[in-house]
């Protein structure tokens, strides 16, 4: 089947290359000539494990092409996926749908036959109706069905998530559209991935409900971690103790510095806006958003308190090394990363901040003014009064504590991801603070 994907960002590229790998004939389209040129030359605009290999393999087999020419890309396609960005609109937190609607209008003008137009971008409830209206207004002679097919891809694990999904959600209003979607996802039907057909609005809401629920789970365990610190309990055990209950489930119960990334912060806000517009507030999610925002800033204070306990009464002029700057490992994505709020809080207290990240340094440099970037972990630790493990990259899981101890000015490790065994770190001569553990 011929498939066009409009928007060659993270979601578009992963989806397009996986569809090509299923055997479809795929064209990925983007307005950015530099991006398309890079992709044509085999260079990836983002860091995602396994993506480059998948793109090279399918491009070489002639099943995956890249173009800036939307008309040519859409020509003959049985399905056109919209995978453009839906950033939070400045000021009001609503999802900015101008790229989605712009793409819909452009697609409508170039259709060459009956087509299924699929929104893959995360869009508020009712967006599919508007896309349908825009395409209808353009007056195409062909039958166009608008379908919602949200993605549930985790950065760093996106290809595995695409090919072995927990479920596929397809919100379609006609049998013909469902048939096209069945054909597209046929390999996943064959390996018995659960596929759900729903109404279009329901599919749109499932995406937001899933992300808001996961954000709630994380925020819940983060607050339990704070309580653990006060009552002398261990959040790792609380997490395991509740997670073994199948009704709760063990995943997304890892306490940390607060969730970040390109999805949870934006999608929780957008859900609140939709709820507000429809006069049906989701108060739990309102609390989650507030608690998580406050938590990221509080992590800076936690570091300063740890410094005080290590004998540094006045942190001004002292140096703190942040290990891991991206919002999670295996990505170069810095969006809404806790490291940003932590660095700002430390700088506001007059502390000199040094950072190191295995993949995110280039992006981090631009987003963290005044933070010096070190060439590796040990260079960052040189002369530091605190080492703060912010993001749990594998590279930070087996640090040479003896070597670090010899480099730092004050042996203090603040482990915001509970990677280390407290006894081991203390035995190595460090002051050690983690999240929700005695
Ligand atoms: C998320 C969803 O998982 C995915 O289904 C959706 O399509 C997009 O948003 P992603 O943002 O890539 O994916 O990352 P994820 O692994 O879900 O982590 C999100 C944030 O939560 C990170 O900041 C992570 O550190 C944090 N997190 C996650 C925790 O603090 N504790 C946990 O137990 C899990």
Whether residue 127 contacts residue 274, with contact meaning beta carbons closer than 8 Å, is answered with no
The CATH-assigned architecture of domain 2-198 is 3-Layer(aba) Sandwich (3.40)
The separation between the first and the last C-alpha atoms of the chain, rounded to the nearest angstrom, is 57
Residues 6+ apart with CB under 8 A from 96: 85, 86, 87, 88, 89
Residue 262 CA, closest ligand 1 atom number: 11
Calculate how far, in angstroms, residue 327's C-alpha sits from the geometric centre of ligand 1: 9
- Candidate list 18, 28, 228, 263, residue with the active-site label: 263
Torsion of CA 362, 366, 371, 373, to 10 degrees: 10
Name the residue of 169, 206, 261 to mutate for ligand 1: max ligand atoms within 8 A of Cβ: 261
| Whether this model's pTM surpasses 0.80 | yes
The pLDDT of residue 236: 98
Low-confidence ranges of the chain (pLDDT < 70): none
Residue 337 CA, closest ligand 1 atom number: 23
Residue 395 DSSP symbol = G
> What CATH number belongs to 291-433?
3.40.50.720
User: Atom 8 of ligand 1 has which residue's CA nearest to it?
Assistant: 263
Name the residue of 85, 263, 337, 341 to mutate for ligand 1: max ligand atoms within 8 A of Cβ: 263
List the one residue out of 155, 67, 132 whose CA is nearest residue 335: 155
The pLDDT of residue 168: 97
List the one residue out of 275, 268, 273 whose CA is nearest residue 289: 268
Q: Where are the domains of the chain?
A: 2-198, 291-433
- Grouping H, G, I as helix, E, B as strand and the rest as coil, residue 297 is helix
Buried b / exposed e along 108-133 (16+ C-beta atoms within 10 A): bebbeeebbbbbbbbbbbebbebbbe
Calculate how far, in angstroms, residue 269's C-alpha sits from the geometric centre of ligand 1: 15
The pLDDT of residue 87: 84
Torsion sign (Cα): 155, 158, 164, 167: positive
Whether residue 216 contacts residue 288, with contact meaning beta carbons closer than 8 Å, is answered with yes
The pLDDT of residue 139: 85
Calculate how far, in angstroms, residue 259's C-alpha sits from the geometric centre of ligand 1: 7
Calculate how far, in angstroms, residue 154's C-alpha sits from the geometric centre of ligand 1: 7
Calculate how far, in angstroms, residue 213's C-alpha sits from the geometric centre of ligand 1: 11
CA distance 339 to 196: 37
Residue 28 bears catalytic tag? no
pLDDT in tens, 403-420: 999 999 999 999 999 999
Domains 2-198 and 291-433 are alike in CATH topology: yes
Find the residues whose C-beta lies inside 6 A of ligand 1: 151-155, 211, 214, 218, 252-254, 256, 259-261, 263-264, 327-328
ipTM: 0.95
């Amino acid at each position: 089947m011929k498939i066009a994907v409009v928007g060659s960002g993270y979601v578009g590229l992963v989806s397009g290359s996986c569809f090509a790998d299923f055997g479809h004939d795929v064209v990925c389209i983007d307005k950015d000539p530099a991006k398309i040129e890079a992709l044509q030359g085999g260079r990836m605009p983002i860091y995602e494990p396994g993506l480059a290999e998948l793109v090279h393999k399918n491009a070489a087999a002639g099943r995956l092409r890249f173009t800036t020419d939307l008309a040519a890309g859409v020509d003959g396609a049985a399905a056109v996926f919209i995978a453009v960005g839906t950033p939070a609109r400045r000021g009001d937190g609503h999802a900015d749908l101008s790229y989605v609607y712009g793409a819909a209008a452009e697609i409508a003008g170039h259709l060459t036959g009956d087509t299924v137009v699929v929104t893959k971008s995360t869009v508020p409830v009712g967006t599919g109706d508007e896309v349908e209206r825009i395409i209808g207004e353009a007056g195409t002679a062909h039958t166009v069905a608008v379908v919602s097919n949200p993605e549930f891809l985790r950065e760093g694990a996106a290809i595995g998530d695409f090919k072995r999904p927990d479920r596929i959600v397809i919100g379609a209003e006609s049998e013909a559209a469902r048939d096209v979607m069945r054909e597209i996802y046929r390999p996943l039907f064959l390996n018995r991935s659960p596929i759900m057909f729903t109404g279009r609005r329901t599919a749109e809401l499932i995406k937001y409900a899933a992300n808001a629920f996961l954000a709630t789970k994380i925020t819940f365990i983060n607050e339990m971690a704070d309580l653990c610190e006060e009552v002398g309990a261990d959040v790792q055990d609380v997490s395991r103790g509740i997670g073994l209950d199948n009704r709760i489930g063990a995943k997304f119960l890892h306490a940390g510095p607060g969730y970040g990334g390109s999805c949870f912060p934006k999608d929780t806000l957008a859900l609140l806006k939709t709820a507000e517009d429809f006069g049906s507030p989701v108060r739990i999610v309102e609390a989650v958003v507030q608690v998580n925002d406050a938590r990221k800033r509080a992590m800076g204070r936690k570091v300063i308190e740890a410094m005080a306990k290590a004998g540094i009464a006045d942190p001004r002029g002292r140096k703190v090394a942040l290990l891991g700057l991206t919002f999670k490992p295996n990505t170069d994505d810095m969006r809404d990363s806790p490291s940003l709020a932590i660095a700002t809080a430390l700088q506001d207290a007059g502390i000199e901040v040094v950072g190191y990240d295995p993949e995110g340094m280039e992006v981090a440099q631009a987003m963290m003014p005044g933070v010096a970037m070190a060439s590796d972990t040990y260079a960052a630790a040189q002369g530091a009064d605190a080492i703060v493990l912010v993001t749990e990259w594998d590279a930070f899981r087996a640090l040479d504590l003896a070597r670090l101890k010899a480099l730092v000015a004050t042996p203090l490790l603040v482990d915001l991801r509970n990677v280390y065994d407290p006894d081991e770190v203390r035995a190595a001569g460090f002051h050690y603070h983690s999240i929700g553990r005695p």
